Amino acid sequence: MGVLDGKVVLVTGGAGGIGKECALLAAREGAKVVVNDLGGSVAGGDVGDAGPAEITAQEIRAAGGEAVANSDSVSDMGGVKRMIEQAMDSFGGLHAVVNPAGILRDKMFHKMDDADWDAVIAVHLRGAYNVTRATVEHFRNQEEGSYVHFTSTSGLIGNIGQANYAAAKLGVMGLSRIVAMEGAAKNVRSNIIAPFAWTRMIATIPVKDEASAQRVARMQNAMRADQVAQLAVALAGPGSAQVSGQIFAVRGNEVVLFDQPRPVKSVARLEGWTPQSLMDHAFPAMTKDFTDLGASATVFPYDPI
């Protein structure tokens, strides 16, 4: 018996890295899987190849599972609707969406062009919208459904050179939270994972010094995609019915629960504030509670999926 016995799961980005491990594990846990992957490069924007998704689907079938491949883009609503139709036609239903599909176009913000911004937003944020919007009414009608979206500490905490990626991934956090709140009465859940794992995206990180080389080596050896998949599949399953609206991270064998933005301090002035009094009194009173700009460099390393 597996935690996904009898369920149908759509896994985006399923040809490699975290997506592939999620697809393989979901199948081992009893799910029928639609393996989606555009088959493009890490930077996106190319035509792609249907072969990589089919290779994952073949691995699942060879191991005795059930899977079909799909090579549409999550950034295209028409393509996403075809994924859903394929799940219905092939397996008669859909119960969970695991959505790690993504691209990277890293660049300092003052050097970023519109194309780099738009491409990353389209895949990560628009893609999360597409797979959620295309399925949410079905999930609500059957009063069962789980979304496992992927965020990043680049958005939750910050990372230099990834303004496009960070904006998209923080947007996914907001989307997931609202979907969870609105879906609670209909048993529709949504959670997000900030992963730490060696994938082909991580392999694109420039190694500029010994410290970064050591960090990348540690990630490659100790932070694997299959470790992230364990949590993703658990969240997809009905056994996690009590878990929704949460932010998790996986780092090796460590599972982290993040807090979520809430007020940390307030100051009031009976006569109201002026720009000068804010500078003289309010900001100094709050300074010790400010979030350090350098926190991301010391708490969590660079971690795009």
Positions marked catalytic: 165
Contact 201, 104 (CB under 8 A): yes
* Helices 225-236/17-28 angle, 10° precision: 50
Class of residue 185 by CB neighbours under 10 A (exposed 0-12, middle 13-18, buried 19+): exposed
Neighbours of 203 (CB within 10 A): 12
Class of residue 73 by CB neighbours under 10 A (exposed 0-12, middle 13-18, buried 19+): buried
Contact 170, 121 (CB under 8 A): no
Give residue 153's Cα distance to chain centre.
Answer: 11
Side by side, the strands of the sheet bearing 188-196 are 66-70, 32-36, 8-11, 96-99, 145-150, 188-196, 247-251, 254-257
Contact 150, 250 (CB under 8 A): no
For the chain, the 3-state helix, strand and coil shares in percent, each to the nearest 5, are 50, 15, 35
Residue of 169, 162, 133 whose CA lies nearest to 258? 169
Q: What is the DSSP secondary structure assignment for residue 191, as one 8-state letter?
A: E
